Structure 1
């Protein structure tokens, strides 16, 4: 039988949308803006790194990063992110959300700057230093996932909670867009400033010494939004759900939320003590009770995020290679180094502006009306359809008159990723697990996603770089090809659609109703009548 909700939590659930909600979205969202900028800006400069550090004098073509080096540069931050999600997710449940929140930002600021200052006597030293700092940058970014999602879910009201959490994640779209815009500005400025007779195009495509500044400036810019957010993060009070349900401090929870909501809230210390003794509020992550109540939920959130990120990150990190394969970006030897950065940034900015960013905000607008389940299922379905539409007639799209059609359909895959599972896989784990395990379970789900991203980054790198059997002039063995890569991604998206049926629908319910944390005798009855009211398998 469900018990009466704590007054402080009920006040949060029923609160009208007000200024503190938007403040929390901006503070948490700026972390995600920085996360996306840092993770995806590397794809804008990897070709430049190859030109600068791996060009062989007298070679017929500009230098490119060897596959193992490119995999390390692109993927090392994802490895750090996975580790950070697990570590800071666990720490957020042990020490509190706010206590850990500042650590992640400091790490991001320091490592963003250090990444741009990667120096060495030879190319290997520069790349090794860059990879070292990119790992720790990813470690800080990883902490932002469970903490931002958990903080926003615990601050939000139940009516618009999905939109608020999705709005935090939607800042990722602006971060990707900002990476493209900053790269456009920096490369355009350098291209104009250093255009001199000695800097004209030659048969192999020129690379001036000043080009080394471009990638450093682009990477270091990621420290700016993170640094601007630090003060406001430290001013946020701890969430009432952590303070009351985990730290068992009813007085502090009531005092903090009284200030935030500007209403008088009773502390209810006796009720908090009573809840603390309930069996439903004491089982651990590795207990049989957790497996019974939330085991399938955790399988659902981890598998869908894992499958989604295989497709999403391989597309984002290597879309420059796909655009080159269909001829949308000219061959490297026809451009100088700065112009190549500009063309890659222009292509990725266009995709972000026309499909990535709108997709996120469609989710924000509709998630509390359509529900998480419907949006995620729809997103995976259309991603599958569009991937196969690109893959099956792939050679048709490589013909010059059809390239725009390829880009349009390719853009739709990004739109439905973001108006779909890329947003919902972030939202749902912050809602369906108990407060004392919420950050940990979100971290596990997110880390599963990053494991998929690592597969996308490392596994599909070779397919993207070695598009067909004719591309062997760099000495690399032929890969499985862009066409087969797209087919594999289509299958991955289809599997994501199937595993979505393990994910519950939290729309319109309080967090405690979903997790059973205010139960006194037994859990709430599960209503399986329709996707809009389903709580998922238990």
Structure 2
């Protein structure tokens, strides 16, 4: 490339030839690797600025958004959000004009299908608690008085279900990092399908035998459910990132929304389960939801309710086997190839515990606290229903109130998906607020339980019940699911997520055991402090990854994996993205944006040289003068230069440097 007084215009990236592009003279002198025939132009400087400092992360002066003063930060973030909102609405409107039903299809492809497994498990798992009152009413000698059934086995239903989930979370998380995400997804759906068949067909020569068969069927089903957590989180997140070297706006601006939108299908599973149970009971109980309930009506209701998701799970096996592409494993495969790992990356797991021990404490600890609260929310429901209808033997009021509660929870899920990527609020603040509000809504009635459970004040109690459900979803329940995958490297992401989720389920087990022995007043005294503990864990040990490029985290991990932690100077160690504990330990001291920019250029040069050498070897082997270049990095640079031909003097660069709108239909579902 000859040095000229004007910006050089390229028709194609291959004009660089086999030699790598040289970095801009960031210090005012010559390029880092000086070449007498090559000089940097203004065009090249803009190329590197476009690739390394995208305008949704850096202002016009190249300053990272988290480095801006607070008022400028608010102005910059608000501007980016407005632009992205307009872009998405424009894409949505264009989609709607072309086909009014297209937005519905988009939502199903990108939100419903990725979360279908969690929707099905939410349907079944929460069905267990909903069906239990029906069993107690229809089979009182077995399920209520325990005269003909072993009380230990009746109670074991809850314990074995949770134990199965814990086994699945740890086991499938390990398999997902060892064999791959796609295999884990197929395996989960298969286990859940077999488990549902077992639940539908569960029987015994005695009622106690039926209870035992039912309990072990739940254990087996729970293994598949547990695997859904790490597999849905990791595959959904990595599909948002893409597979190339150049990060995408979709990852940076909407990664959290994609994952939470898949996770909230769990709420829809609960909703549809409750609706279907109400309808089935009315059908099989002769149009009445009132007691007494016949054994036949109870059997048909619960068996048909499990047969319905079995059909959906069978379809999920087909979809994941034949429709989910092998590219679902691409991020993991690239990470293993880079580190020359063929099986499970044991070294990355060791380094994760060494360098990210505080993060493990944060993701696992907050999930534990959240699950205690998740089960604690049931306290409100039983208490205020007992006050409203103290003599009622019907299960229908509890089901109807639960339906309302699930609807309120869904509002929390959706609001979380809308705000989880907002840089001015984001994950960490959302989780702290959710824990704090749950603490308040439990401690208030705990101090005055008799007052709030009286008929005169039951409405206030009911309001706190619904608000505690809302803030749990609009906070810890969504954030724990997201953060447990997001703050770890790709090589052990599923393992770390599965471990965190398993510790969380120990919280559910704590609640299940504790509630069997504590009085109502004791429960209201004990449970709130788990929320306060969640706030403390979150504030001290949880990093805030809102607005952080996920691939930049992988770049930092590459330095750690190579034993060069102190040589990394990028935004992944910006104080904004580190926990209080990590900042106190000095993890962010090497942060230096100017040095990092030079470093990234040199890394880009090295990557270019490797690719050129590989392609030259391929060309020599195939004796072919024409070979395709479909690498994301090449296509980004090529498209940039093609656009540059329309503006040789780089005028209007503000608009040109923004990549074409990916469109709402560009996202990939898992």
Indicate whether the TM-score tops 0.5. Answer: yes
> Counterpart in 1 of 2:196?
112
TM-score (norm 1): 0.78
Please tell me whether residue 322 in structure 1 is matched to residue 383 in structure 2.
yes
Matched, 1:296 2:358: yes
Determine helix, strand or coil for the equivalent of 2:172: helix
Shift of 1:419: 0.1
Query: Is residue 210 from structure 1 mapped to residue 304 from structure 2 by the alignment?
Result: no
Partner of 1:123: 207
C-alpha separation in 1, matches of 2:523 and 2:288: 39
Deviation, 1:182, is 0.9
How far apart, CA to CA, are the structure 2 residues paired with 1:114 and 1:366?
40
Q: 1:171 to 1:246 in 2, by over 3 A?
A: closer
Alignment counterpart, residue 365 of structure 1, candidates 392, 398, 418: 418
1:180 is matched with which residue: 274, 277, 280? 274
| Corresponding residue number in structure 1 for 2:115 | 29
Choose 19-28 or 483-492, whichever is displaced more: 19-28
1:45 maps onto 2:131 in alignment:
yes
Aligned pairs for 1:459-538 within 5 A:
459-460=514-515, 462=516, 479-501=517-539, 502-515=541-554, 516-519=556-559, 521=564, 522-525=567-570, 533-534=577-578, 537=582
User: CA 1:503–1:194 in structure 2 vs 1: closer, same or farther (change >3 Å)?
Assistant: closer
- Does structure 2 conserve the Cα–Cα contact (< 8 Å) formed by 1:359 and 1:418? yes
- 2: CA distance, partners of 1:50 / 1:69: 14
Map residues 71-150 of structure 1 onto 2, 5 A cutoff.
Answer: 71-150=155-234
Secondary structure of 1:440 counterpart = helix
The residue that corresponds to 1:221 in the other structure is 308
1:386 corresponds to: 441
Structure 2 CA distance for aligned equivalents of residues 120 and 154 of structure 1: 45
Corresponding residue number in structure 1 for 2:477: 422
- Pairing of 1:270-285 with structure 2 (within 5 A): 275-276=338-339, 284-285=347-348
Residues 122 and 300 of structure 1: CA distance in aligned 2, closer, same or farther (over 3 Å): same
Instruction: Tell me which moved more, 110-119 or 209-218.
Output: 209-218
State the TM-score, normalized to the length of structure 2: 0.64
**Alpha-carbon contact 2:119-2:267 (below 8 Å) kept:** yes
| 8 A contact 2:160–2:218 mirrored in 1 | yes
Kindly provide the CA deviation profile for residues 56-92 of structure 1, in whole angstroms up to 9, marking residues without a partner as x.
Answer: 8xx9x99998864443223321110110000000000
Corresponding residue for residue 326 of structure 2: 238
Q: 1:445 aligns with which of 485, 500, 521?
A: 500
CA distance change for structure 1 residues 330 and 147 in 2, over 3 Å: closer, same or farther? same
Shift of 1:459: 1.9
RMSD: 3.6
For 1:282 and 1:93, how far apart are their aligned partners in 2?
8
Distance in 2 separating the partners of 1:30 and 1:139: 17
Size of the aligned set, in residue pairs, is 469
1:261 aligns to what?
A: none
Q: Is the 8 A contact 2:127 2:270 kept in 1?
A: yes
Higher mean C-alpha displacement, 15-24 vs 423-432: 15-24
Distance 1:131 1:319, change over 3 A: farther
Higher normalized contact order (CA 8 Å, seq sep 6+, divided by chain length): 1
Output one character per residue of 1:464-514: Cα deviation in whole Å (capped at 9) or x when no partner: xxxxxxxxxxxxxxx432122122110111001100021111112222322
Residues 289-327 of structure 1: CA deviation (Å, up to 9, x unaligned): 3334211111110000011111103434x6653344x42
- Residue 346 of structure 1 corresponds to 400
Unaligned 5+ residue runs, structure 2?
1-47, 58-83, 92-104, 241-250, 588-670
- Give the direction of change, closer, same or farther, for the CA distance of 1:282–1:64 in structure 2 (3 Å limit): closer
Distance change in 2, residues 1:185/1:80 (3 Å): same
Return the alpha-carbon distance in structure 2 between the equivalents of residues 509 and 344 of structure 1.
Answer: 43
Between 443-452 and 21-30, the greater mean CA deviation after superposition: 21-30
> How many Å apart are 1:407 and its aligned residue?
1.5
The corresponding residue for 1:310 is 372
Verify the 8 A CA contact 1:430 1:439 in the aligned structure 2: yes
Contact 1:47 1:65 in 2 (8 A): no
User: CA deviation digits over 1:338-391, x for unaligned, max 9?
Assistant: x42x222112101111x2110111100100012110100010010000011221
In structure 2, the partner of 1:475 is none
Q: Is 1:356 aligned to residue 442 of structure 2? A: no
Which of 463, 488, 501 is the aligned partner of 1:433?
488
- How much has 1:225 moved relative to structure 2? 2.9
Aligned-partner Cα distance in 2 for 1:384–1:35: 28
Shift in Å, 1:172: 1.0
Structure number with greater Rg is 2
Offset at 1:239? 4.2
Q: CA 1:122–1:51 in 2, change beyond 3 Å: closer, same or farther?
A: farther
Q: Which residue of 1 is the match for residue 263 of structure 2?
A: 169
Q: Report which stretch shifted further, 143-152 or 43-52.
A: 43-52
**2: CA distance, partners of 1:323 / 1:112:** 33
Verify the 8 A CA contact 1:302 1:449 in the aligned structure 2: yes
Contact 1:27/1:233 (8 A) holds in 2? no
- 1:527 and 1:236 map into 2 onto residues whose CA distance is 31
User: By how many angstroms is 1:20 displaced?
Assistant: 7.9
Shift of 1:535: 5.5
